[in-house]
Structures are given as structure tokens and as C-alpha cells.
Structure 1
Amino acid sequence: MSTKPKVLFVLTNHGAMTVNGKVKPIGWYLPEFAHPYYELVDKADITVASPAGGDTPLDPDSVAMFQDKESVEFVETKGDLWKKTEVLADFKGKAGDFAAIFYVGGHGPMFDLATDETSHELIREFWEAGKVVGAVCHGPGALAKVKLADGSYLVSGSPVTGFSNAEEDAMGLSVAMPFMLEDALKENGGKFEKAAEMWGECVVVGKEGRLITGQNPGSAAGVGKAMAEAIKV
């Protein structure tokens, strides 16, 4: 029986959005799953879930754009991780079994996980059980609107980051977003931080050292490292 801490990775099920009248495939973003996975897999037992369970959409643009060794290896060898995900609701009441919950980025989470009540309940449960909560890029969209038992927002008063307005604008996708992530984090009390330059690495550890967020794909490995450090037993 493994004695390693357990981490629950959460993926989106949302696979498309409309940009200027055209349907664009989206989903979760390759390096934002691959890099944290490889930072954590030797140190933790990883379980992967999504709201609907089963197969989840990998953003094809992320496969084309990111050809680093870890991303390529991940796509070629780890398909079961995203094609056979567990149902997120099955983990309600089980925060005690885990050390952390982590939300993989990609535009998909902005459309489902941002407002998913089961996901919000899980994040609240994990947080109030003293666990680590992490997310990268658009993954913090799943955290931005979460309220704790006392009615306050999870991000309120904490340093936090996520995909910036400038980066969204640069991709030409702000027009298609249900909300702007940077704005939502600020509106709900987060102290938003970002790298000096677009696409620069920015990893923020806030709120008791348990709220860990990364700005963009280049921050994904750093988030994994920070989470590995936070869950050391």
C-alpha cells in the first residue's frame, strides 16, 4: 500500500467555444497537465477526475505549440489519464484522503469548472480541511468564484495569479470568454500578480502557503514544484 500523499487532478469536459462566429476546439492545455504531472508523479499518487468523467478534450493547439520532451512523451504514453477520468462528484466527502487538489488550465475550465457547483463544493471542502489547492493558467477560473463556509471568497485577501487580460487579448480570445479571469480574481478580492512580460513565468504561493497558482503555460512546472513542496510529509 502506497504511503505517498494523494493529489486529485481536475480536468475540464468543455471542448469548444465560438470565436467570431466560428467554432474553435478547446479543452485542457497539454503542458499544464504534463509538467505538473511529472513534477508530482514520483512524490504523490495522482488521481484524475472531471465533471462528467470519462474522456476529456485535449486542446489541439496546445499539442501543436508545445513540443518539449515532457509534453510529447505525455501525449504518446499517458492517454489513459485523460481518457478514463473519474467522476468529480465521487470525491465529495473524501478530502481527508488527499493532500491537494489541482486544476489543469486550458480555456475549457472557464466554461464548466468556473461555475460547477460540485467543483466549488470540493474546493471548499479541501480548503477547509487544510489541504493544498492549486491551479494554473485558466485553471484559477475554477477557484475565482468559490465561496467558503463563512461566505468569503477563497481568493479574497490572497496573492493570486492566472492568465492575464493582456495575454488573452494577445491571443484574440477575450471576445469569446464568459468572463475575464484577471478581472474576476480581482473583483473577488484576490491580489493579482503577473510576470513583468507576457508569457513570463509567474508562480504565486498565497494564503497560508496552501493556495498555489500559476499565470500561464510557462508557469506549469513551477506550480508543480511548489505543490510538491507544499505536500511534503
Structure 2
Amino acid sequence: MSSKKNVLIVLTSHDQMGNTGKPTGWYLPEFAHPYYELEPHAELTIASPKGGKAPLDPSSVEAFKGDEMASKFLAEKKELWENTHMLVKFLGKADQFDAIFYVGGHGPMFDLATDNTSIALAKEFYEKGKIVSAVCHGPAALVNVVLSNGEHLIHDQPVTGFTNDEEDAVQLSSVMPFMLETQMKANGGKFEKAGKPWESQVSVGRGGKLITGQNPASATPIGKEILIQLGVKA
């Protein structure tokens, strides 16, 4: 019997930046880096709201063309995001997994934040004692998750995500349906951030069952933290 853990990785299906006509999607290093941390220790299943091909943000390919790990992932792992499972298939199946992980990119702000299937799935995973994790804009998927006791998943928990300062810096605040940092605070999260924009920050709440990362720099560290909380690595 395999001793490997099972992790469900969720990508956005949304490919347009608001009404700008600019493409968006999931962000390359925020899938690539955690993938290479998790893959030796876990069976990884990839899903998205619509299934099929999940849109890769082309700006992330350009921004991280000098990143060896991202380039390797782009060259060798295309089938992972071109043939995703439909998210709805996994409702009621949290027991088959040890963790769920939401990849960032601006796409999740537009679909996963309000996707009823995703919200139900994150609730189910947490209430079954599984790890719920997300990086950068991925925590948008967790903002509206309300537990059976009526409390937000992030309520009174240390959490992080793409900050207002970082959103302002990339000049996309006006395009966003909401500001992630602002909304995480509004729904009770104890928002944490790195000392400076673009530095790494990983926050752990709910006794290790809620793990969030701030930005692309947090992609490798969150992969490592998920393994620690899974008991795979010290």
C-alpha cells in the first residue's frame, strides 16, 4: 500500500482580467514550485471549476522565464493543466485526500472566490480534518468559506494572501472584484504579511489545517509547510 499522501490541487478556470480584455488565469511559479515540493511525497490530482484546460496566465510565463523550476514545469508538465478534472467530481470525497491546495493567479478572484462547489469543498476538507491551503490570490477561494458552526474558516486565524500594497504595485487594484487583504480582514482573518512587499510569508492557522502564502515568493515555502503539517518532513 502506498504511503504517499493525496493532495487535490485546484486551478482557476477564469481567463479574463475583469473587463480589460487582458488574459489572466493561474500563476506559473505558484503551481510549479509547490508541485516540485509535493510530488515526491504525494499523489497529486488536478481540478478546476470547468475541468479541461485551465488557463495559464501568460504574464507569469514572461515574468518567470528565468526561473529554472518554472521553465522545467512549463516544458514538461503541460498535461497537468490541459486535462483537469471538474471540481464537482470531488464533492463528498474529502476522505480520499489529505489536503487541498489552491494555486494563485488573478483568476481565482473572479471564479473560485464565489464558486459554490469550491466553497463547499473547502468546508468539507476542513471539517474532515484535512489541510486547506492556498497561495497568493488562491486564498480568495477561502474568503467566503463558512463552517457548520456559522464561523468563517479564516475567522480569528493567522492568514495571508496577496496584499493591497502588492496589488497597487501591479496596478490591478481597480480591476479586482474585491481586495483580498481587505476582504480577509473583513471576514475575521488575522492578516499577516512579510516585512516588505514581494518577500515570503506563510501563515499557519487552525492547528496546522489552514495554510496560506502571500505571493510568488511564498510558493516554495508553502509547499514545504504543507509537507511539515502532513507529517512528511520535519
When normalised by structure 1's length, the TM-score is 0.97
CA RMSD of aligned residues (A): 0.9
What residue number does 2:31 align with? 33
Separation (CA, whole Å) in 1 of partners of 2:221 and 2:23? 27
State yes or no: 1:2 paired with 2:2. yes
What residue number does 2:57 align with? 59
What residue number does 1:220 align with? 219
Separation (CA, whole Å) in 2 of partners of 1:72 and 1:230? 28
Percentage identity across paired residues of the two chains: 58
**CA shift at 1:53, angstroms?**
0.4
Conserved 8 A contact 2:18-2:176: no
Give the 3-state SS of the residue equivalent to 1:101 in structure 2: strand
Question: C-alpha deviations, 1:33-80, integer Å up to 9, x for none?
Answer: 000000000010000000010001000000001121110000000000
State yes or no: 1:14 paired with 2:14. yes
Give the 3-state SS of the residue equivalent to 1:225 in structure 2: helix
Alignment of 1:41-120 (within 5 A): 41-66=39-64, 67-120=66-119
Separation (CA, whole Å) in 2 of partners of 1:128 and 1:206? 14
Unaligned segments of structure 1, at least 5 residues: none
Separation (CA, whole Å) in 2 of partners of 1:210 and 1:222? 16
Give the 3-state SS of the residue equivalent to 2:122 in structure 1: helix
What residue number does 1:151 align with? 150
Structure 1 residues 2 and 139, CA, compared in 2 at 3 Å: closer, same or farther?
Answer: same
**CA shift at 1:230, angstroms?**
1.0
What residue number does 1:194 align with? 193
Unaligned segments of structure 2, at least 5 residues: none
Moved over 3 A (4+): none
What residue number does 1:173 align with? 172
Separation (CA, whole Å) in 1 of partners of 2:17 and 2:181? 19
> What is the one-letter code of the residue matched to 1:52?
K
What residue number does 2:22 align with? 24
Separation (CA, whole Å) in 1 of partners of 2:97 and 2:229? 13
Count of equivalent residues: 231
> What is the one-letter code of the residue matched to 1:145?
N
> What is the one-letter code of the residue matched to 2:47?
A
Give the 3-state SS of the residue equivalent to 1:227 in structure 2: helix
**CA shift at 1:7, angstroms?**
0.1
Separation (CA, whole Å) in 2 of partners of 1:194 and 1:32? 17
Question: C-alpha deviations, 1:165-193, integer Å up to 9, x for none?
Answer: 00000100000000000011000000000
